[in-house]
Each structure stands twice: as C-alpha cells, then as structure tokens.
A and B are shown apart, each in its own frame.
Chain A
C-alpha cells in the first residue's frame, strides 16, 4: 500500500499533460472530428514523455537537481534565459487556463457563472501550495483525478463497435471533409500536450521535493511507467467517447459540457458526479502543477531557495513568484478570455520551447560524471535522439501550421 501511494507524483504529473482543461476539450474535439485516427499520436507522446520523464527523474534522484538547474548549466545563462522566458510564458498561460478550468467544472455542477468561482479557486490553489505537504497534495489530487476513469467505463458501457475503433486507430486516415494540414495541426497539438515542458519541471522538482536518491530509482520508474500511460489511456477514452457519441451526430466540440455528454448519456447522474470530481481534481491538480512549475523554473534558474519542503521564510522569493503567478492568472481569466482557447494556443506555443527543454536533459543523462552507473543506455539514447529530432521539426512547423489552418478550424 505504501509503495502504491508513492506513484502519485507520476499520476498527478500525467494528469497535467493529458487531461488538463485544454486536453479534456482537445481530446473530445479530436474524437468528434477524426475518431481514433490520431490515437497513434497519443502512443507516440506517451513513449516520448516516459523516456524524458524517466531521464529527468533519474537525474533528479541521482544529482538532487531539478531540470531548470540543468537547463541553465548546459545551455548557458543566455539560452537558458530564452528558454525560461518561453516556457514560463506558456506555463503561466496554462496556469490561468487551469484556474478557469476548475471554475468551468464547478459551473457545470451548479450552473453559476464560472467567473464567480475564479477568485475562490485562485485562493484555494494558493492555500494548497502554501499549506498542504507535497506528498499529501499529489496523493489527494492524483487519487481524485482517477475519477476521470468514468470515461473508460462510459465507453465500455456505450458498447461501441470495437473492431471499427481499432481499425480507426491502427489504420489512421484523414476523414472526408477534413484537410491534411488540419490533421497535422491536431497531431502536433496532441503531441505538444503530451510532452509539455512543465511536466518535466514538475516531475523532476517533485522528485527533489520528495528527497529521492539512487535507492528510489525503482519508485521513479513506477511513477513514469504507470502514471504517463494512465494519462494516455484517459486521453484515448475521452476521444473514444466523443468518436462513438458526438461524431455520428456531427457535433463539433467547443465546451466542457459537450465533453461530459457521452458520460451523462451512458452512466447518468452517478457518472456525472464522478466526472465533476474528476474534472475539478484534474484541473486543480494541473493548476498546482503549473503554479509550482513557474516557481520552480524561475527559482532554479536564478539559484534561489525553492520548494514546498523549505520553510516559506527561507524560500520567500519562490513563494512570492507562485503567488504572483496565481493572482495574474486569475486576473487574466477574469477578463473573460476563454480558458479552453488559452490552452489550445499555449499548447502550440509550448511546442516551440520543447527542444530547448529536452536537449539538456538528454545531455546530462549521458554524463557519466553526474550519473555514474545510471547513465543512459544505447537504446534510450537512440530513442532520445529520435524524439529530439521530432521535437525540433514540431517546433519549426507548429506556429506556421497554426496560422495556415486558423488554429485547426
């Protein structure tokens, strides 16, 4: 039981990457437009994030250093600063969207305007960051986030034609009425979401917060190889539900309420209750993840004291950054900017920052002086290099494709 509780860092991190507010809607959008024809991207993303989260977790366990610490050391202060600005901007946008996402989930349950919930949610996020111990935080939101498995249950309950779904997944093709550029745009968004930089910032910093060392490498692997595939499974279940219920009706998904519709039809009020808990836990968990990641990356780059384990008085600047980010994020959402649209755009912008985040991890994970026996093997290096090339291509084409397809319209 004790070792089971240790895997929730991976689960909470994966929730941020696969089922935060932008992903919840994006997965349903994709399912309703392409069926499971983009399932291969989820698989590609899961393998990629497992590979690099494993490297960053291993480096953190062996050296006790977070990812951004390494980014600055390996890229130098100037390139490191460029990376810091790009990734902090994306993480901040995502934080704002997640605060809005929690509020949207509460609106679904109460029909009270989500804008009224935003200040309360922001306060709640700050209180949890300030007061709740790290391990309890990851366990609480990781466990409650599992309520999203309601999507998998709903899909099974809907009794779809499994062979047709499998055919869509293994023989991907662009459906009639959809263009190839739009298909590629959504593939990049999905891939960018799976490998979003704040996941490794949070995962590696979380490993340091939990005091992992070489003897925790097994726990680290369990976190990676259970947490991220579970996130991918949830992502596929959401797309599958949309493919079975919304696609045949010609529904194009724009809102969180439409994402819930297949579960409501299939599992009724009980399923809906699970879904609301899951939505709130996932978006709240992603708010915590992004708020902390903003503080982690800035503090690690500037060499400040950081972390929830350090007494707030000693890590005052870290906590101040987190607090300011939460306040600004809430203010941004109170301007009535659509939280779902914010994450959709931030996913594409995050794709641009991907190679700069993952390159230093690959370099350090190969450094025998740091890693000793835990250095990367040949297969991991080959895969790591393949993904780095892929990430570079994605970074180059992401923004032009967003403009060309009017963000996938």
Chain B
C-alpha cells in the first residue's frame, strides 16, 4: 500500500517535503528556473509584437499560459515548508523574485487583452532584470 502511495505521488507530480537545506535549495533553484522559462517566453512574445510579427489572440494565449505556469510554480513552492531559519531567508528571496515575475506577466497579459500591444516592449524591458535575477538564482542553487 505504501509503495502504491509513493508511486501515485510520483506520478501525480506532488511535491515532497524538504528535509534538508540542500534539498530546499534545489527546489528553490528549480522553481526559479521554471519561472524564468515563463518570463523568457513572454519576452520573446513581446519581441514578436514589437516587430509586428504577431497579433493579439496568439499573444493572449502565450501570456495567459506563461502567467498560469508561473503562478502554479509559486503555489507549489509556497507549499513546501522551509526546514530551517536559513531556508526562511532563501524562501523570501525566491518569493520576491517570483512575485515580481508574476505581476509583470499579469501586466503584460492585461495590456494585450486591452489591445495595447505598443506598450508591450516597454514593459518587457522592465521585466528583463527580473529574468536575469531568476536565471542567476537558478544557476547558483541547482
């Protein structure tokens, strides 16, 4: 029965609790990497919009999915309890980055829904440092 439960957890992609700081660091690094992927996707979409290479419907789907993925990562990471006070600091750091990313993605999605594609490259420019920080964080803790 126990084995079946473990198998079910593995297959459903549930997050196991972190027992050590190292394990928590790995989870933090993976979360940062996943959110960085969503932000990078959105920035490429913004580049396509800036070059007039795509229209609103495609960008809407792209940004909705990017935001949804980033929010899912945030919710999964938040459900993992930090194993020590050192890990608490790490959690705050990741949370801050992910929150900046998700709110940036949300703003981009709103602009596209309103048809204000011209404002997209400017917003993307402001989101670029967050992407760099997420990638640096992911590289450090993976």
Contacts and interface: CB of A to CB of B under 8 A. Distances in A.
Given A108-B61, A250-B33, A250-B135, A269 B40 contact: no
B51 interface: yes
Contacts of A403: 7, 10-11
Interface stretch (B18-26, B52-60, B74-82, B88-96): B52-60
Given A177-B142, A250-B135, A251-B37, A257 B58 contact: yes
Given A245-B44, A257-B62, A272 B54 contact: yes
Contact of B48 (A110, A254, A264): A264
A261 B44 contact: yes
Interface residues of A, number: 27
Nearest to B38: A251
Given A250-B135, A269-B53, A109 B58 contact: yes
Contact of A249 (B44, B60, B61): B44
B36 interface: yes
A265 B44 contact: yes
A252 interface: yes
A272 B52 CA distance: 12
Contacts of B106: none
B99 interface: no
A257 B40 contact: no
B34 interface: yes
Contact of B41 (A108, A177, A258): A258
B47 A250 contact: no
Given A177-B142, A251-B40, A409-B13, A261 B48 contact: yes
Q: What does DSSP make chain A's interface, helix, strand, loop or mixed?
A: helix
A108 B58 contact: yes
26 contacts: A108-B58, A109-B57, A111-B56, A111-B58, A249-B41, A250-B37, A251-B41, A252-B33, A252-B34, A255-B65, A257-B62, A258-B41, A261-B41, A261-B45, A261-B62, A264-B54, A265-B44, A265-B53, A268-B48, A268-B52, A268-B53, A268-B54, A272-B54, A406-B11, A407-B11, A409-B13
Interface of B: 7, 10-11, 13, 33-34, 36-37, 40-41, 43-45, 47-48, 51-58, 60-62, 65, 69, 135, 142
Top 7 A-B pairs ranked by shortest CB distance? A111-B57, A268-B53, A111-B60, A249-B40, A257-B62, A252-B37, A255-B65
